[in-house]
Structure 1
C-alpha cells in the first residue's frame, strides 16, 4: 500500500510541475501559437464555472473535469516542443523549491487572518447591541 500512495504523491507533484511548466511554455515564443491558445482554453475551462456537464449532476458532473482537464494537460505536454517543455519543467522544479512560494503563502494566510479578524470584529459589534 505505501508504494501506491508514494506513486500517487509523485504523480501529483509531476502534474503540479507540468501545469507550471505549461504556463511558462505558453508564454515562450518558441511554443506554436495554436498550442498557446489551447493552453489558454484548457485553463479557462478548468477555472470556468460553466461546464459541459453541470457539477450538480451526481458523478457525471465531475467526470468531465476529471477527463477533460488532465487530458488537455497531457495533450499540451505532447504538443509543446520537447526542448521547450524540458527547459520549463526544470524552471518549474526550481520555482517549487524557491522561498518565494512560502513568502506568497505567508502573505495570503496573513490576508485571510486579517479578513477573519475583521469579520469577527464586525459580527461582535453587530450582535453586541
Structure 2
C-alpha cells in the first residue's frame, strides 16, 4: 500500500510535468491550452468561485472543477501528442534514474510510459474521493455544535427557558442571569418561536466552534444569528450568541444588535 501511495505521488508529479509540456507545445489547440491554464489558475486563486459556506458544492469545488477542466482539455488534444509528451517525460534523466523497485512498481501499477487516459481518470477519481472524505470529516465535526444550538432553540420553542438556559457555558451564565436571558428571548419574536434554522457558515477549531446562519419564525420573519460554542467536560456549550433584529423574509440582512459576550 505504501509503495502504491508513493507511486501515485510520482505519477501526479509526472502529470504536472505533462501539463507543462502540453502548454509549451504549439501543436496543442488554443482552447485546450486555455483550459489547462484555467485549471492551474483556479488552484492559485486566493478565493473560491463557489463559496465554502455552500454545503457540499462549496467544499468539493477544487476536487471537481479542476479535474473537469483537465479532462475537457485532454479531449481536445490529439492522443498522439499526449503520448509523445509522456514518452519525453519517461525518457528524461529524472525518471530513467529511478530504482528498479520504483520502475517495477510504476510498470505494474501504471504501465511502462506513465498513466493511460483511463488511469488518469483513476487519479482524478481518487482526488475527488479524498475531497469528499475531507468534506465528510469537516461536516461531521460541525454536527454536535449545531445540534446543541438546535436543542436550545427547541427548548425555547417549548417554553422551557431553564432548560434552554442550561445549554449556556459557565462563563456565559456568569455574564447573563436567567431573567436577562428570558428578556432577550422575549425581545425577538423569531427566537421565541423558531420554525427552522440554517447554519451555512461553520467553523470548528479544536474546542471552539463558530456557527452563523438564519432562524426562520412562524410569522414569515427571519433573524440572522451567530453562536460561539466551547467544550466543557467534553460537551459543547454556548458561550456567546448574537440574535439579529427580525426582518421580513427576503429583505436584506440587518444589523445584529442583541448579543452576549
TM-score by shorter chain over 0.5: yes
Q: What residue in structure 1 maps to residue 24 of structure 2?
A: 27
Higher relative contact order (CA 8 A, sep 6+): 1
Measured in 1, the distance between the counterparts of 2:43 and 2:87 equals 24
Q: What residue in structure 2 maps to residue 46 of structure 1?
A: 43
CA-atom RMSD in angstroms: 2.9
Q: What residue in structure 1 maps to residue 14 of structure 2?
A: 17
Q: Does 1:72 align with 2:69?
A: yes
2:83 to 82, 86, 91: 86
* Contact kept? 1:22, 1:39, Cα under 8 Å: yes
Deviation at 1:89, TM superposition (A): 1.6
Between Structure 1 and Structure 2, the one with more strand by share is 2
Measured in 2, the distance between the counterparts of 1:76 and 1:20 equals 15
**Aligned to 1:16, what secondary structure does the other structure show?**
helix
Q: What residue in structure 2 maps to residue 97 of structure 1?
A: 95
| 1:91–1:42 CA distance, 2 compared to 1 (3 A) | same
Between Structure 1 and Structure 2, the one with more helix by share is 1
Deviation at 1:59, TM superposition (A): 5.4
Measured in 1, the distance between the counterparts of 2:16 and 2:60 equals 20
| 1:95–1:28 CA distance, 2 compared to 1 (3 A) | farther
1:36 to 33, 38, 45: 33
**Aligned to 1:97, what secondary structure does the other structure show?**
helix
**Aligned to 1:30, what secondary structure does the other structure show?**
coil
Structure 1: 5+ residue stretches without partners: 100-129
Deviation at 1:8, TM superposition (A): 5.1
